[in-house]
A and B are shown apart, each in its own frame.
Chain A
C-alpha cells in the first residue's frame, strides 16, 4: 500500500495504482476532467500507464469554457 493525496485528502492505495484506476475508484468519468499530479497536468493518453508514487498529490478538475 502507498499513501497518496487526492484533491487534498489522504488515501491508502495499492502500490503502482494508475491514474485510470484512481479515476475509476473515485467514480470520475475520464472525459470529464484534467488530472494534475504534483502540479503537472498529465495528458489523458498517459493515464492508463501512469503509476502513482508515495506522497503524490493528485487533483482532478473540469474545463470551464464561459466568457
Chain B
C-alpha cells in the first residue's frame, strides 16, 4: 500500500508529526476498529477515525436519531430524525472520506449476539461509546475475551470518565507496549454496582461530551500508530470546573471477568 498525491495532501498534517509520518498514516489506513454506540461520544469518535483514514470502522448501534440529540451529536441533522444512527453515520462518513470503509451494524450489542457479530468482523481495537452500564460491562468482557485494547469514555451531567485498557493477553504478547498488568472495568466497577442516576435523566453540554470523545479517539489513534499510551488509568473530568484527576486501575484478584 502506498499513498497517492491526493492522500499526501489530505493527510499531510497528520504525517508532519515526526513519529507519525507516512508509516503511521499507512498503519492507520490498514487498521480495523469497532465503535459501540453512535451517540454523543460515538458520532465524534467515528468522525475522527474515518476522517483520519482508518481503514475500516464498524459502527454498532440500534438507536435512532432524535431531536434532542442534535445540540451535541453534530454529525446528525433534522433530516436524520427517526433514522438509525449507525446507518446515517456510516453513509455520511463514507461520503466524506472514501479511504475509510465505514460499516453500519444497526443492532443492539447484547450478550446473546456479540459472539456472532464479532465472528464476522476483525477489529484490532474497540471503542466503548455506549450509554448504559450493562453494555459497558459487556464491552469490557468482549475486550478481555477477544484480546482487544479498549478505549472507553462516559459522561453524565458534568462528570466525565475515560480510560484505556489493555487485556493481559495482549500485553504479554507485546512487551514493546511497555505496560504493566492493570485492572479492567469490572475490577473498578463490579457488575452489581449502583449508578446514582440513569444517563437519560441527566443533562449534558455538547462540548463536555466532545472532550471525552476526543480523548478516547486520540488515545485510540495513538495506540494504533504505535505511540505509548497510558493504559490502566481512569481519568475523571469535571466539566463545570474544567478540572481533571486520575487514578490507577488496580487488579481485583477476584475479578470474574479478567482473572
Contacts and interface: CB of A to CB of B under 8 A. Distances in A.
Contact of B37 (A31, A63, A67): A67
B133 A65 contact: yes
B41 interface: yes
A65 B247 contact: no
Interface string B151-165: 001111101110000
Contact of A66 (B156, B192, B246): B156
Contact of B247 (A41, A43, A67): A41
B204 A66 contact: yes
A42 interface: yes
A66 B199 CA distance: 5
Contacts, number: 97
A36 B247 contact: yes
B1 interface: no
A65 B132 contact: yes
Interface string B177-208: 00000010001111011111001101010000
Given A34-B188, A43-B250, A65 B236 contact: no
B251 A43 contact: yes
Interface string A39-57: 1111111100000000000
Nearest to B129: A67
B255 A43 contact: yes
A25 interface: no
B248 interface: yes
Interface residues of B, number: 47
Contact of A67 (B189, B199, B248, B252): B199
Given A43-B187, A61-B236, A67-B199, A29 B194 contact: yes
A39 to B, nearest CB: 5
- The dominant DSSP class at the A interface is mixed
A41 B195 contact: no
A1 interface: no
Given A39-B246, A40-B248, A45-B252, A67 B193 contact: no
Contacts of B236: 61
A38 to B, nearest CB: 9
B130 A67 contact: yes
A32 interface: yes
A47 B251 CA distance: 13
B40 interface: yes
Contacts of B183: 41, 43
Contacts of A45: 252-254
15 contacts: A31-B190, A31-B192, A32-B195, A41-B183, A41-B249, A43-B251, A45-B253, A63-B188, A64-B156, A65-B130, A65-B154, A66-B131, A66-B199, A67-B37, A67-B155
By Cβ-Cβ distance, the 4 closest A-B pairs, closest first, are: A66-B199, A43-B252, A66-B156, A64-B156
Interface of A: 29, 31-32, 34, 36, 39-46, 59, 61-67
